[in-house]
Amino acid sequence: MTLVEKILAAHAGRDSVSPGELINVKVDLILANDITAPIAIREFQRIGVEKVFDPRKIVMVPDHFVPNKDIASAEQAKMMREFALEQGLIYFEVGQMGIEHVLLPEQGLVLPGEVIIGADSHTCTYGALSAFATGMGSTDIASAMACGEIWMKVPPTIKFIYHGKLKRWVSGKDLILYTIGDIGVDGALYSAMEFHGEAIEQLSVDGRFTMANMAIEAGAKAGIFRLDGKSRTYLQSRTNRRYTAYEPDVDASYAKVIEYDVSDLEPQVAFPPLPSNTKPVSQVNVNTAEKGVEIDQVVIGSCTNGRLSDLRVAAEVLRNRRVHPRVRCIIIPGTQQVYLQALRDGLIERFIEAGAIVSTPTCGPCLGGHMGVLAAGERCLSTTNRNFVGRMGSPQSEVYLANPAVAAASAIIGRIASPEELGD
């Protein structure tokens, strides 16, 4: 069996499972946020069950519209807060919280071999720690809160192998953008993406979070990595809970195997309106006006690239440099802990001295919520995960996706650019 099949079989009480089978699966952790939790809460109340199946296995995080941007978002957060406190759930309030998919692994709430579901499509992020993690609808979350199980179809698995050593400024964001550019936004539809290869072994855990996070942008049910020394070290510093790590069988059956040599891979940029519309950064300004692709805004953060290592890369590029006077550069640490460590490391001071602004942890501009909504005709280069029409504001705006190094360099130059253009 593949990695995902082994995890699902264990949670279904079966010796084995096969792609296409419909199974009942016990869950280890359930997640909802300030957009999706209220729907799940209302459906849970309609079921008529008084208590959730296990309050220590349900986490609620206000992160999309917080701090509350208006009365409607305040009401959403209030409903979630009251339900969480009433039921005794794991709950993170503003001041202790962060962007959910950065926060949960940081807090040691995600373990290898677990089944984790969330009412948010980017729940697949936790596959970086060798968990089966996937997003589900709020009504599915409601029933899972009541009974602790989900009903699902076993996905086929596609094996991705990345050969070679990554060049400077190339990261997990570039590997996943390149992959999505190759296979398309439906190239892994309802499949598990299992990541392997020398380049993956070299990748930091944060880089793996980024890749797993964007598996959904390829249409995948989940993205997953084997547990190794790096991920074990990550876990040791965050939790002492016991877990079961699974390995894919040598003779596992895959829907397909896709291999890449990424030795010469450049940083990638996804042009609107899809994450699959990718180009290497050196080709961004080819066939454009002489000034290149000028931008009005840069966002560095989100559940894709809001971790401390991402901020460190951005700070390295911004050192002793200034944001272009025409560009708004918004930097959003993924959690309070990331924010605090960035402050202690002097990164926040460097960002502000460079002319950027630093926000409290929030999803904010990623979904066009607040803290960076775009006007008609504006362009944003972002480290987020989606660049659909109207994703960050006006349907007449444009969103481009890239890694934090490219984002920081572009903020300085005023157009989409590689950090190599800045020199040493």
Domains of the chain in sequence order:
3-260 (3.30.499.10), 268-422 (3.30.499.10)
pLDDT tens per residue, range 126-172: 999 999 999 999 999 999 999 999 999 999 999 999 999 999 999 99
What is the 3-class SS of 169-222, one letter each residue? CCCHHHHHHHHHHHHCCCCCCCCEEEEECHHHHHCCHHHHHHHHHHHHHHCCCE
In this prediction, residue 290 has a pLDDT band, given cuts at 50, 70 and 90, of low
- What gap in Å lies between CA 350 and CA 34, rounded to an integer? 32
Contact between 393 and 374 (Cβ < 8 Å): yes
- What gap in Å lies between CA 423 and CA 56, rounded to an integer? 50
Please state, in angstroms and as integers, the Cα–Cα distance from residue 233 to each residue in 16, 140, 238, 274, 335, following that order: 30, 33, 9, 35, 20
In this prediction the pTM is 0.96
Instruction: Say whether pLDDT at 289 is over 60.
Output: no
Contact between 385 and 303 (Cβ < 8 Å): yes
Res 291: pLDDT: 72
Res 139: pLDDT: 95
Cis peptide before 105 (omega within 30 of 0): no
pLDDT tens per residue, range 91-104: 999 999 999 999 99
Tokens standing for residue 205: 């855990």
Res 292: pLDDT: 87
H or E segment to which residue 281 belongs: none
Helix (H, G, I), strand (E, B) or coil at 292: coil
Contact between 112 and 130 (Cβ < 8 Å): yes
Contact between 123 and 158 (Cβ < 8 Å): no
